[in-house]
Amino acid sequence: MIQSSRCRILNDRPEQAGKYVLYWMQQSQRTRCNHALEAAIRKANQLKLPVVVCFGLMDDYPDANSRHYTFLLYGLRDVAKA
């Protein structure tokens, strides 16, 4: 269950018909215990649409090293499999 305080509407425009629900993944590269992804899936199910996950991988994260990138890529691999 996702707390309503975790979700917010960013504009007052009416929803438009689309082909998918976009989930812009930025911080939690995982499928479990990911409240934002759960919210996107719930919305997609309500609209009977697929979820498309987008993650912008950069090679210059501040203070990141090869261990950070390995952890990040394993998480993204799990997301891709889900």
One-character DSSP codes across 13-32: PPP---S-EEEEESS---ST
Q: How confident is the model at residue 72 (pLDDT cuts 50, 70, 90)?
A: confident
Q: How many domains does the chain have?
A: 1
Q: How confident is the model at residue 1 (pLDDT cuts 50, 70, 90)?
A: low
Residue 39 within any structural domain of the chain: yes
Q: What is the DSSP letter of 36?
A: H
Residue 1 within any structural domain of the chain: no
Using CA atoms, how far apart are residues 47 and 55, in angstroms rounded to an integer? 23
**CB of 53 closer than 8 Å to CB of 79:** yes
Q: What burial class does residue 23 get, using C-beta atoms within 10 Å of its C-beta: 0-12 exposed, 13-18 middle, 19+ buried? A: buried
The tens digit of pLDDT for each residue in 20-70 reads 999 988 877 777 778 888 889 999 999 999 999 998 888 887 888 889 888
Residue 20 is predicted with a pLDDT of 96
Residue 45 within any structural domain of the chain: yes
Residue 44 within any structural domain of the chain: yes
